Amino acid sequence: MDKLLKFWDALSHYGAENAGYSEARRIILSNQVAFLATVTPQLYNLAYVIYDYRLLLPPILVNIAGSLICLSVLFLNQRGHTRLTKYIITIVPNLHIFLLTYYVGTATGMHLLYIMLVSFVLFLMSSERKIVIWPVSALPVVLFFISYVKFTPQYVPIQLSAGMNQFLYVSHALTVFLLTMLFFGLFFQVMLVAERLLENEYRRSENLLLSILPDEVAQRLKQYPESIADTYPSVTILFADIVGFTSIASAVTPDKLVAVLNSIFSRFDQLVDKYQLEKIKTIGDAYMVAGGIPAPMDNHTEVVARLAIDMLNAIPEFDLDGRKLDVRIGFHTGPVVAGVIGTKKYSYDIWGDAVNLASRLESHGLGGKIHVSREVFHILKDRFAFESRGLIPIKGMGSLETYFMISGNGLD
């Protein structure tokens, strides 16, 4: 049984190995039907030979010719002539049945075999243009009515006994039922595989979208694909940058550089998930996070402060070719605009003076320090300890009073 199943599977996939899914499923189905169309007529030939091979020689020859043509479908599929095989497997069986009905008449039920061809033709030709699909699909219907009207028992060349007519009628009816059931079984098997593939692709696309955009924003984008832009009155933005990374990078191999950077940012990602904050993006060796978007968070400034502490404490875990690394962190709280930009590669980003100030706080900070604005100091001064830097010139913003967060007073 295992060998039979392996044979059937190998036969079905003959020529479909390198095809895309849609084309592969048509090749598989055409191979399966071609095999059945090759074997079934020979079973009838056996009955013809037993009854009277001299009398039934024309139908026997028609069955042999039809089987050989259908068998050629397997080899044509293997050589990439898939469009030709679609026409062979849809037109040849119709003509085959027509010739057989001409010889033995409708009393044998031969014309009933057209019934199972209609659905198969529609499925196999679904990728063709409508101007091709409908004439080919109508062919078995037209031939059925021509056969029913023209090939009555008194007008056919071969006259069979009543018993043989009855035997063939029952046999053809059973063939229609069995092959139709088999065809739909194969069809639903293909559909189930297609559904599983679609579900897998849907999950992959969902995961990919969620890895790029926040869940809430991704759901909105799927429902309303037009641009998304929101104003938030209070958001905390953090920038972290590895000190001296450019000079360190020039002294190590690219694979080591990327591996270490990936390890650091992966650790930061874990911390961001821990505090349920939103990673905005990475820019080279800089890492950007926001708290309070897209879902509001009452204590986002405190949560970002704790993230900054954990990021600072995590850096000693990493080194690059024996060189110890250090990180410079700055964050600020203020209003921002957040939205999705891009049409091919989506990006969730934030804009505003608050973002610019957070970036400046990071770049004007010191290694191993958390540099914050006066706004952050006033929000957190009762829960964390700070050291004033006094007024310092901030590029593009004049002189501003800034602070370093230091240990103690709840800072752990």
**Residues 196, 318 within the same domain:** no
Cis peptide before 254 (omega within 30 of 0): no
Inside any domain, residue 53: yes
Top-confidence residue, 216 or 65: 65
Query: Above 50 in pLDDT, residue 31?
Result: yes
Inside any domain, residue 218: no
**Residues 145, 259 within the same domain:** no
CA 202 to the chain's CA centroid? 5
**Residues 38, 182 within the same domain:** yes
Q: Find all residues with CB under 8 Å of 306, minimum gap 6, and list them.
A: 275
**Burial of 200: CB neighbours in 10 Å, binned 0-12, 13-18, 19+:** exposed
pTM for this prediction:
0.56
Residue 203 CB neighbour total at 10 angstroms:
10
**Residues 205, 119 within the same domain:** yes
Question: Which range of residues forms the domain containing residue 261?
Answer: 228-406
pLDDT band at 409 (very low <50, low <70, confident <90, very high): very low
DSSP state of 167: H
Averaged over 268-292, what is the pLDDT?
92
Whether the CA torsion 3, 4, 7, 8 is positive or negative: it is negative
pLDDT in tens, 242-269: 888 777 777 778 888 888 889 999 999 9
Residue 390's region, left for phi above 0, alpha for psi from -120 to 50, else beta, is: left
CB 110 within 8 A of CB 123: no
**Residues 29, 168 within the same domain:** yes
Q: For residue 166, give both structure tokens.
A: 């009855």
Q: For residue 52, give both structure tokens.
A: 């009277």
pLDDT at position 408 is 38
Cis peptide before 294 (omega within 30 of 0): yes
**Residues 259, 382 within the same domain:** yes
pLDDT at position 342 is 67
**Residues 42, 147 within the same domain:** yes
**Residues 126, 265 within the same domain:** no
pLDDT at position 210 is 64
**Residues 33, 101 within the same domain:** yes
Inside any domain, residue 219: no
pLDDT band at 410 (very low <50, low <70, confident <90, very high): very low
Q: How many domains in the chain?
A: 2
pLDDT at position 374 is 94
pLDDT at position 21 is 67
Averaged over 349-367, what is the pLDDT?
92
pLDDT at position 310 is 93
**Residues 279, 317 within the same domain:** yes
DSSP string, 54-88: TTTHHHHHHHHHHHHHHHHHHHHHHTT-HHHHHHH
Q: For residue 318, give both structure tokens.
A: 């990493």
Inside any domain, residue 32: yes
Q: What percent of the chain has pLDDT over 90?
A: 41
Top-confidence residue, 323 or 55: 55
Worst-scoring range by mean pLDDT, 187-196, 270-279, 281-290, 303-312? 187-196
CB 327 within 8 A of CB 301: no
Inside any domain, residue 217: no
* Paired sense of beta strands 323-324 and 286-291, if any: unpaired
Looking at every residue in the chain, the average pLDDT score rounds to 85
Inside any domain, residue 223: no
Residue 346 CB neighbour total at 10 angstroms:
15
Averaged over 137-149, what is the pLDDT?
89
pLDDT in tens, 379-395: 999 889 999 998 998 88
Inside any domain, residue 147: yes
pLDDT at position 223 is 65
